[in-house]
Amino acid sequence: MNQKDKLERWTIEDSADLYHIREWGVGYFDISDSGDVVVTPLRNNKDISVNLPEIIAGIQARGYDMPVLLRIEDILDSQITHMHESFRTAIRTFDYKGEFKGVFPIKVNQQKQVIEAITNIGTQYHHGLEAGSKAELIAALSFLKDKEACLVCNGYKDREFIDLGLYACKMGYKCFFVLEMPSELDLILERSSALGIRPLIGVRFKLSTQAGGHWTESAGDRSIFGLSTSQIIEVIEKLKSLEMLDCLQLLHYHLGSQISNIRDIRASVQEACQVYAGLVKEGAAMGYFDLGGGLAVDYDGSHTNYMNSRNYSLEEYCADVIEAIMEILDVDKISHPNIITESGRATVAYYSILLFNIFDTNTFDPEPLPETLAQGTPEIVENIMEVLTSLNLRNIQECYNDALYYRDQARQMFKLGKISLRERSLVEKIFWNIIHAVGDNIKHLKFVPKDLTGIDIALCDTYYANFSVFQSLPDSWAIGHIFPVMPIHRLDEMPTRNAILADITCDCDGKIDRFIDRQGIRRALRLHKPRKDEDYILGVFLVGAYQETLGDLHNLLGDTNVVSIRVNPDGSYTFVREIEGDSVADVLSYVEYSPKRMTRRFRATAEEAVREDLISPQERRMIMTMYEEGLRGYPYFEK
C-alpha cells in the first residue's frame, strides 16, 4: 500500500490505537467521528460528551491564550464517587463490618479550587482531608465542614500545629495526630494536658514490605517516617501509664505512591494488619486503619505492573484490601476497622489537561544536493558523496560507519581552516542524506544492527511547544514520568511525522522525548504536519496530581491560565472558574523585582537615549508603551 492509500484509509480507530486513548482514558476520553478528542466525564451517563476543540475555542474567545490548564470538575465527581461506590460494593460482597473513609492528601494538589471542589463533592461520602503541614491543616479547617469526615494530620508537628488540631477535636472534628517519630507523643500529651483536650492519636508503622517504582523508599527499615515495632510498644506503655490508651485509635502506614503491583499492596495490608491486631490485643481502642496512598493511575494504559501503569482495577484493589484485612482480623475475632485511604493521585489525576499550541518545527528532511560536484571540490566531500551513491542493503553498516568518519573528519578540517564554511555545509547535507537512506533501508532488514537502532530518533522532528516542562510537567523532567500526550484534533488524518517536543525554556532538559507505548516507551511521538495559519494543539492528560504543586519558575515562566468547566445535563458546559495566569510583572515580583521601580529605571534610560539623540521623544513613548505592555503580558509565547 502506498503512502497516498494509507493517508486515505486512516481512520479514528487507527488514531485511537496509536495513542492508546481508550486504554489510559478509562472511558473519560475518546475520539469523535470528526477526529476530535471528546470528554465523557460522567460514569453514570455515557451519552453526555463534550468536544475538546470546541472548549478551546470558547477559552480563546474569552481572551485566554495557550497554554491553558483545563479542569473538568465532573471527572473529579466521578472519581470520588467511583472510589466510594467500589469500596461499598466490596464491603457488601464480603459482609465487612467497617466503613470506608477516604481522605485527600492536600500535598497532591494544594490549589484552593481543587480543595474546595473535593470538599464540596465529597460531603455526600464524608470524604476528608490529610494535612502534612501547619499550612495544610489551616487550609483543611477552612474548607472541611463535614464533621463525619476524617482529618488526618501527618508530617512534623510543632506546638501551634498540635494546639490547632486539639481545638479542632474539641469543635467536633475527627482530627487524628499520626505519630511520625516517637518524640511527637510527648508534645501531644503536654499540649493535651495544658488545654484539657483528649487527643485522637494514630501511629505510623514502618513497613518492612517494599514495592517497586520511584517511591520505594517510603517503606522499609530505612524509611525516614514511621515507628518501628519497638517504638510502637513504647508508645503503648506510655499511654497505658497515663490511662490514655483509649486515645490510640488509628494505625497508619504508607507503602509509596503509584504502586503498580497488586501483590505489593496485599502484602503490605497483611503486614500492617498484624500490627493492628497486636495493638487491639494490647488494649488500644483502635477502629481506624489508614493504608496511606499508593492507588496507582494507569498512565500508559498497559494494565501491567510497569511503574507508569497498574495491573489491577479499582474494584480489584478494594476487594483485595478488604479480603486481606478480614483474613488476618477474623482469626482473632477482632472488629473490622474503618478503612482510610489517602488516594490523592487516583482522585485528581484524570480531571486536569494541559493544552498548548505548537508554534514552530524543525525537521531533518534530506536537503537537495548538487547533481555533480564542482571542479576542485575537496577530497573529503567527494568521499562522503561516494558513500551516499554506493549505499545498499548489503553494505548499510559499512556506509553508516564511513559517513560518521567523514563527517567528523570534515569538522576537524573546518576547525583547522582546511575547508570552507560552504564545503562543511555540503558535507553536513550529504551526511543527513546518508542517514535518511540508512533509515529507509533498515526497514527492510530482519535484524537491525545495534548501532543503527536509534536512527529513527536521530531523524525525528522537533516540535516547539508553548509551555514549560519545569512549570507544568516537573515529574516528566525530574523522574522521567510518562504522561499521555496526543493531538486533540485532526485524528481522522494520518500523522506522518515523528517528533519530540521542546518547550520554550531555552534549556536542553526542557523537552519531552519519552512517550507511552504498548511495548514500553516510545522515543518519538507521531504527529501531523502543522498547517499554515491554523493552531495545532496538543494535550497532556492525567496531570492533576503533583504537577501544579511541584512546578517552578524556570526562565520566569509562571502559572498558566486555568479554566474549570462543568458539564450540563443537556451536554452543554459551563465555565465555572477562570484564573488568569501569571503576568510578567507577577513572576518578576516573585523573585523580588519591583515592576514599578523597573519601569522608572527604564524610563530614565530611555530619556537618556533621547538626550543623546539616539531616539526621538515619540520613539521613547512607543518604547515605554511596549515595555509596560510587556510587564502586563503573558510570559508564554504570544502571536
Active site residues: 506
Label residue 453 exposed, middle or buried (CB < 10 Å: 0-12, 13-18, 19+): exposed
Estimate the crossing angle of helix 396-415 against helix 421-442, to 10 degrees.
Answer: 160
Label residue 330 exposed, middle or buried (CB < 10 Å: 0-12, 13-18, 19+): exposed
Residues sharing a CB contact under 8 Å with residue 543, sequence separation 6 or more, in sequence order: 69, 349, 352, 353, 354, 472, 473, 483
CA distance linking residue 226 with residue 217, whole number of Å:
12
Owner of C-alpha cell 516537573: 474
CA distance linking residue 167 with residue 173, whole number of Å:
9
The DSSP bridge pattern shows strands 497-502 and 461-465 to be parallel
Q: Is the peptide bond before 495 cis (omega within 30 degrees of 0)?
A: no
CA distance linking residue 177 with residue 204, whole number of Å:
10
Question: Max alpha carbon distance in the chain (Å)?
Answer: 101
Can you give 363-399 as a three-state secondary structure string? CCCCCCCCCCCCCCCCHHHHHHHHHHHHCCCCCHHHH
What is the sign, positive or negative, of the torsion defined by CA atoms of 522, 528, 529, 530?
Answer: negative
CA distance linking residue 134 with residue 138, whole number of Å:
6
Which three three-digit cell numbers place residue 137?
A: 491543616
- Residue 409 is inside which H or E element, if any? helix 396-415
- Helix-strand-coil split of the chain, %, nearest 5: 45, 15, 40
- Nearest 5°: phi and psi at 369? -115, 155
Owner of C-alpha cell 489510559: 24
Residue closest to 457 by CA, chosen among 479, 442, 439: 439
Three-class DSSP category at 71: strand
The DSSP bridge pattern shows strands 352-362 and 537-540 to be antiparallel
Which three three-digit cell numbers place residue 508?
A: 536542553
- Nearest 5°: phi and psi at 450? -55, -40
CA distance linking residue 57 with residue 8, whole number of Å:
28
